[in-house]
Chains A and B, each alone.
Chain A
């Protein structure tokens, strides 16, 4: 798949933002006044910023609100609803914390649940696609949720929770890469089933339909950069999990905390780049590009 910057920024930032909102909703940390204002501003900048970025890849961004209509069948629509509801509830909850010094617990709990549901529905947009075996795995939502929770805990300054959550997310990441690498082969789809000619012999793409490129090749048949996969995985893993855990184990300081957040953010962004760039869409088979 084409690793569009808009979707990488979207899933990375909004995952982190809604992860932070989840912990804030649970009162971890319990903040009021100016401190609350700053931390909610960060959470909203990440989550809303991510959602805004996602509209950049639309062909018709001015019609984006249409996406809320089909919640009965579409995961993308459900994600829109969960995000809007989570942001409204957490907004009210934030008003209580900032202006009234109050913690409206029930509201916070509801907001936390919808924040988590937003991350889950985001992951289901990718998980539902049978055309991309690497995404069509139960591990995909597990990965998105574990990343969101770990990142949220780091950002919320919950070192005690962040370290085990980072360890869990790191294990899920390794498992995801391991299972993902054989997903296309395990799916049983190949040029033989794609053309229905597989029973007759070995099928080879002889001539593409056009001499030039097209939308399908640009969008689904990204093969650039695959040779650096091993290196990028090491970089991503070190930045997302290893460095933050090491920094959080040091005596607490705001500077180390900030470094841990930035490192985690960069690592997750690299992991998301790989998530898209490595995903093999089966339509590539028709072009002999798998």
Chain B
């Protein structure tokens, strides 16, 4: 099982728009909410209300500052979850066969009843997409909400991953990245979607859309500014009198 399939019928994945993401962490919360009570073991927390809380999350949002050579620094919010790589190193390192990539849609999953919790798959993942649940002792990861996307008990609009359904900014898109005519593939082509750490050779399915270039602030902000009289440097009139009087005290 832990040999990777030669190819998958579809490449289901996410497209994350770094231009649109506002860093609200709603996807983090909805992910945890859905996945703690559905597929597999719950996502446990340790010392949740204590001094040193920590817990298992399948999706985390970082924030980065990018300082270009010229101009202002830019703040970029950066959601990160499993990228469902085509050459997923987490699958081939698994000694038990618990970690596998599905042939039908390319989703990388963990069979929790086979997992021994050795952690090697998390070691092999450059993206930090896998976390060993401290209560259950097995590896947890994004399932691309495999229990939502094919779930006919849900209204059709909800048959997307929880993070995508929740995102209030529309920064997350879900679809088949193996089909060049799908909406997500078109989006990636149009916006120069990129891979994270391409040098690792993992061939991630999930793509990131880079921020669009910022508007440049010209020297003149207001075209009417030259027509306005310059503001006096020295106060005059009543304010000037007040200023001088107060100075005397």
- Give the complex CA separation of A125 and B93 in angstroms: 8
B131–A212 touching, CB < 8 Å: no
A128–B93 touching, CB < 8 Å: yes
Decide yes or no whether B160 CB sits under 8 A from chain A: no
A189-B54 contact, Cβ under 8 Å, with A70-B1, A131-B124: no
B66–A202 touching, CB < 8 Å: yes
Stretch at the interface among B132-140, B166-174, B223-231, B237-245: B132-140
CB contacts (< 8 Å) of A59 on chain B: these are: 115-119, 132-133, 136-139
- Give the complex CA separation of A210 and B220 in angstroms: 41
Decide yes or no whether B195 CB sits under 8 A from chain A: yes
Stretch at the interface among A72-80, A146-154, A172-180: A72-80
A193–B57 touching, CB < 8 Å: no
Chain A 194-230 interface residues, beta-carbon cutoff 8 Å to B:
194-197, 200-210, 212-216, 219-220
B62–A205 touching, CB < 8 Å: yes
Decide yes or no whether B3 CB sits under 8 A from chain A: yes
Checking B115, B118, B123 against A132 with a beta-carbon cut-off of 8 angstroms, the contacting residue is B123
Instruction: Report the minimal beta-carbon distance from B131 to chain A, rounded to whole angstroms.
Output: 4
CB contacts (< 8 Å) of A57 on chain B: these are: 118-119
Closest to B76 in A: A197
- Give the complex CA separation of A80 and B119 in angstroms: 16
Closest to A279 in B: B123
Decide yes or no whether A234 CB sits under 8 A from chain B: no
B66–A201 touching, CB < 8 Å: yes
A70–B97 touching, CB < 8 Å: yes
Decide yes or no whether A253 CB sits under 8 A from chain B: no
A72–B3 touching, CB < 8 Å: yes
Write out, one digit per residue, whether chain B residues 77-111 have a CB within 8 A of any chain A CB (1) or not (0).
01010000000010011111110000000000000
A210–B95 touching, CB < 8 Å: no
Checking B61, B133, B199 against A187 with a beta-carbon cut-off of 8 angstroms, the contacting residue is B199
Instruction: Report the minimal beta-carbon distance from B57 to chain A, rounded to whole angstroms.
Output: 7
- Give the complex CA separation of A74 and B199 in angstroms: 22
B64–A203 touching, CB < 8 Å: yes
Q: Could you say which interface size class chain A belongs to?
A: 35 or more
CB contacts (< 8 Å) of B118 on chain A: these are: 57-59, 67, 76
Decide yes or no whether A104 CB sits under 8 A from chain B: no
CB contacts (< 8 Å) of A282 on chain B: these are: 126, 197, 200
Decide yes or no whether B60 CB sits under 8 A from chain A: yes
Decide yes or no whether B155 CB sits under 8 A from chain A: no
Decide yes or no whether B2 CB sits under 8 A from chain A: yes
Decide yes or no whether B189 CB sits under 8 A from chain A: no
A66–B96 touching, CB < 8 Å: yes
A193-B197 contact, Cβ under 8 Å, with A57-B119, A70-B96, A209-B62: yes
CB contacts (< 8 Å) of B116 on chain A: these are: 58-61, 63-64, 66-67
In the complex, how many residues of chain B place their beta carbon closer than 8 angstroms to a beta carbon of chain A? Answer: 69
Checking B54, B73, B78 against A213 with a beta-carbon cut-off of 8 angstroms, the contacting residue is B54
A74–B117 touching, CB < 8 Å: no
Decide yes or no whether B63 CB sits under 8 A from chain A: yes
CB contacts (< 8 Å) of B94 on chain A: these are: 70, 73-74
CB contacts (< 8 Å) of A197 on chain B: these are: 18, 64, 66, 76, 210-211
B54–A188 touching, CB < 8 Å: no
CB contacts (< 8 Å) of B152 on chain A: these are: none
Instruction: Report the minimal beta-carbon distance from A14 to chain B, rounded to whole angstroms.
Output: 16
Decide yes or no whether A286 CB sits under 8 A from chain B: yes
CB contacts (< 8 Å) of B210 on chain A: these are: 196-197, 200
- Give the complex CA separation of A184 and B93 in angstroms: 21
Write out, one digit per residue, whether chain B residues 27-48 have a CB within 8 A of any chain A CB (1) or not (0).
0100000000000000000000
Instruction: Report the minimal beta-carbon distance from A253 to chain B, rounded to whole angstroms.
Output: 43
Decide yes or no whether B55 CB sits under 8 A from chain A: yes
Instruction: Report the minimal beta-carbon distance from A116 to chain B, rounded to whole angstroms.
Output: 21
A195–B196 touching, CB < 8 Å: yes
A200–B52 touching, CB < 8 Å: no
Instruction: Report the minimal beta-carbon distance from A187 to chain B, rounded to whole angstroms.
Output: 7
B93–A215 touching, CB < 8 Å: no
CB contacts (< 8 Å) of A188 on chain B: these are: 199
Checking A63, A70, A200, A286 against B128 with a beta-carbon cut-off of 8 angstroms, the contacting residue is A286
- Give the complex CA separation of A204 and B210 in angstroms: 16
- Give the complex CA separation of A22 and B241 in angstroms: 99
Write out, one digit per residue, whether chain B residues 164-185 have a CB within 8 A of any chain A CB (1) or not (0).
0000000000000000000000
Decide yes or no whether A69 CB sits under 8 A from chain B: yes
B97–A66 touching, CB < 8 Å: yes
Chain B 2-22 interface residues, beta-carbon cutoff 8 Å to A:
2-3, 18
Closest 5 pairs (CB-CB, A-B): A59-B117, A59-B137, A209-B60, A201-B68, A66-B96
Other A-B pairs beyond A63-B114, A194-B196, A286-B127, 4, CB < 8 Å: A128-B124, A131-B123, A200-B210, A203-B64
11 contacts between A and B (CB under 8 A): A58-B118, A59-B132, A67-B96, A70-B95, A74-B2, A130-B200, A197-B18, A204-B65, A209-B28, A215-B131, A219-B122
